[in-house]
Amino acid sequence: MKLGLAIDLDTCVGCHACATACKQWNTSGTIGPLTDTNPYGKNPNGAWLNRIRTFEVGESPQSKTVNMPLSCMHCEDAACVTVCPTGASYKRDEDGIVLIDQDRCMGCNLCAWACPYGARELDPGSGTMKKCTLCVDRIYDEQLPESERQPACVITCPTNSRVFGDFDDPESEVSKLHKQRDGKPLMPELGYNPVNTYLPPREPIQRPQGGKVLGKVKQIVNRIIYR
Amino acid sequence: MHPAFSVLIFTVTAGAGYGLLGWLSANELFTWWALSIGMQISIGTIAMVLISIGLSASTWHLANPKNAWRSFSCFRTSWLSREAVFAILLYPVAAMYAAAIYFQWESVSIWAGLCLLFSFIIVFVTAMIYASLKTIRQWHHPLVPILYLLFAAMSGGLAWAFLLAWNDLELGLLIPVLGALVAFTTLTKLSYFWLFKVPGGSSIQTATSFLKQKVRILDAGHSAPSFLNNEFIYDVASVKLLRMRWLMLSTTFVIPFGLLYWLPNTLSLALAFVIMMAGLLTERWLFFAEARHVVRLLHGQQRV
C-alpha cells in the first residue's frame, strides 16, 4: 500500500479547517500533545502538522488565487528518514506512512532540514519532532464506522478538496483523480518522490459566443436578473 | 538557515582540535620534528580538550538531549550518526596513542596513523551532514567537505606552529607550508562564493507545481513566526552579509597570513591562531546565514 492524499487546488478555499482539525485530533493522538507557546499572546507559536499558503498564479487580470495546503508528502525516498541518527524517523513498509517514534527522537532538527516541504516542526514542549501521521490512529481504528476511518483533515474539508487513499491501487479514488486531473508533485527535482499529489485548477470553460442579436438579448436578461 | 551558536562553536573548536591532532599524528609518522614525550602528550591533550569542548557544545543544540545516546544506532544511513560514532571511537584510540607515546611502544605509529585517519574521517563526516542535504543548494556541494577539511588543517596547523614555537623548536618549512595552505583555502572559499553568486535550482514554480506561470505569495498562513520561519528564514540585510564576508576574509585569511610572514614568533603565532578562530566563527556564521533552504520558496521567495 502507498497511502497518501490527493489535494484539489481547484476547489480548496483556504479556510484552514484541515489545519485546525489536524491540530485538534493530533494534539491528543499518538504523537500528542502538539504544544503551543504563548497561544493567546502577541506572538503565538507552536507545532502544526498542516499549513496552508495562498498564492497568486498567473498575471493579473487573468491570475488565479490558489490555496495550497502542505503537510507531509510521505515521500517514497524520504530523506528525513535517511538522515535521522537515532532511528526515530521511519517509513512503514506496509503502507508507506512516515512516522516519528517520540521516545527515540533527540530533537536535533536534521530531519526538518532535510524536508523540502516544511512538514516537520519541533515541538517546543517535548523537544521532539512532530509531523503528519496520516492519522494512523484513525484510519485503522475498527471502533470507528468505516466512513470515518480517514484522516481528520479529509473528513473536515468542507469542499472535499482532500481525498485520502491508496496510490498503489489503480481503482482507488486518489489514483483515478491523479490520472484524470494530471496530478502534480511538488519539487519533484529533489528526487524524494512525494506520494501526495496536487490536482491543478481546471481550465476556465470557454462559453460559446452567441450571435449579435442573441448577445444583446442575453445582456438585457442578465441586467434584469442582476437587478 | 538560522545559525545556532552551539553548532558554530562545535565545528570551529572541534575542527581545530582534529586538525591539531592530525598534525601531531602526522609528525609521529613522518618525524619532521623530534618532540619530547611530555610535549607530545600535552599537545595531544590540548587537541582532545578542544575536541571535547566542541562536542559538548554540539549537544546544547539538541532539544531532547536525553536521547542523544541513541544517535549511535543509524550508522549505516545517517551522516550525523556516523559522526557521533567516530567522535566517540576516537577517545579510546587517542588514549592508546597517548599510552603508546608514554610507554614508548613499538606500535606507536599504528596508533598515530589511526588518530590521523579518524581526525580526517570525523571532519569529513561532519561536513557531509550538511553536504548531504539536497534541500540547501549552498550546502549540497563537494566544496563543503573540502573546505571543512582545509579549515581544520589550517587552524590546527596554526595551533601546531604556535606550540612548536613556544617550545623553542625550529619551524623551518612549516611557515611556508601553512602560508600556502591559507592561500589555497582562500582561493577555494572565494570560488565557493563565486559558485553561489546567482540563485538557482528549485524555484517558487517547482515548489507550487505551476511551472509556466508567474507565482507570488499572498499569505503565508500564519499570524506570527513559526518554527519554520525561525529555523529556515533567517534574513540578514545584504549589506551586513557583505560586511561579514570582508570581516571573515580578513580575519580568517589575510591577517593570519600577514602575521605568519612578517613576524613568525610565538606571540604573533598565538595572535594569528586566536584571530583565525574568530574568523572561522564568522565563516561558519556566514555558512548558515547565506544558506537558503527551499522552504523559503513556500514563504514567497522566487528562487533559492
Residue B17 has a pLDDT of 97
Q: Average pLDDT for residues B213-242, to the nearest whole number?
A: 93
Q: What is the CATH number of the domain that holds A108?
A: 3.30.70.20
Q: Give the model confidence (pLDDT) of B61-105 as tens digits.
A: 899 999 999 999 999 999 999 999 999 999 999 999 999 999 999
Residue among B260, B290, B291 at smallest CA distance from B273: B260
Contacts of B105 (CB under 8 A, 6+ apart): B99
Asked whether B10 and B58 are in contact (CB, 8 A), the reply is yes
Q: And the C-alpha cell for B60?
A: 546544547
Do the chains contact at A116 and B295, CB–CB below 8 Å? yes
Domain that holds residue A101: 3-226
CA distance B262 to B77: 48
Q: Quick check: A227 pLDDT over 80? A: no
CA distance A26 to A29: 4
Do the chains contact at B217 and A57, CB–CB below 8 Å? no
Ranking A20-29, A208-217, B246-255, B267-276 by mean pLDDT, the lowest is A208-217
Q: Quick check: A208 pLDDT over 70? A: no
Asked whether B3 and B288 are in contact (CB, 8 A), the reply is yes
Whether chain A has a CB inside 8 Å of the CB on B128: the answer is no
Q: Average pLDDT for residues A28-42, to the nearest whole number?
A: 92
CB atoms within 10 A of CB B50: 24
What domain count does chain A have? 1
Out of A70, A104, A191, whose CB is closest to B298?
A: A70
A10/B264: higher pLDDT = A10
CB < 8 Å from B in window 163-192 of A? 184-191
Whether chain B has a CB inside 8 Å of the CB on A66: the answer is yes
Answer CATH for B5-298 from 2.60.40.10, 1.20.1090.10, 1.20.1630.10, 1.20.140.10: 1.20.1630.10
* Stated length of chain A: 227
Residue B247 has a pLDDT of 96
Residue A152 binned pLDDT confidence (cut-offs 50, 70, 90): very high
Q: Quick check: A207 pLDDT over 80? A: no
Residue A225 has a pLDDT of 87
Residue B77 has a pLDDT of 95
CA-only gyration radius of chain B, Å:
21
Residue A28 has a pLDDT of 93
Residue A210 binned pLDDT confidence (cut-offs 50, 70, 90): low
Q: Give the model confidence (pLDDT) of B171-211 as tens digits.
A: 888 999 999 999 999 999 999 999 999 998 899 999 999 99
Residue among B139, B36, B198 at smallest CA distance from A114: B139
Under DSSP, the state recorded for A45 is E
Ranking A41-45, A109-113, A203-207 by mean pLDDT, the lowest is A203-207
Do the chains contact at A84 and B224, CB–CB below 8 Å? no
Contacts of B66 in chain A (CB under 8 A): 106
Q: What is the ipTM of this complex?
A: 0.92
Pairing of strands A45-46, A51-57: unpaired
Do the chains contact at A118 and B295, CB–CB below 8 Å? yes
Percent of chain A whose predicted confidence (pLDDT) is above 70: 98
Q: Note the pTM of the prediction, 2 decimals.
A: 0.92
Do the chains contact at A52 and B221, CB–CB below 8 Å? yes
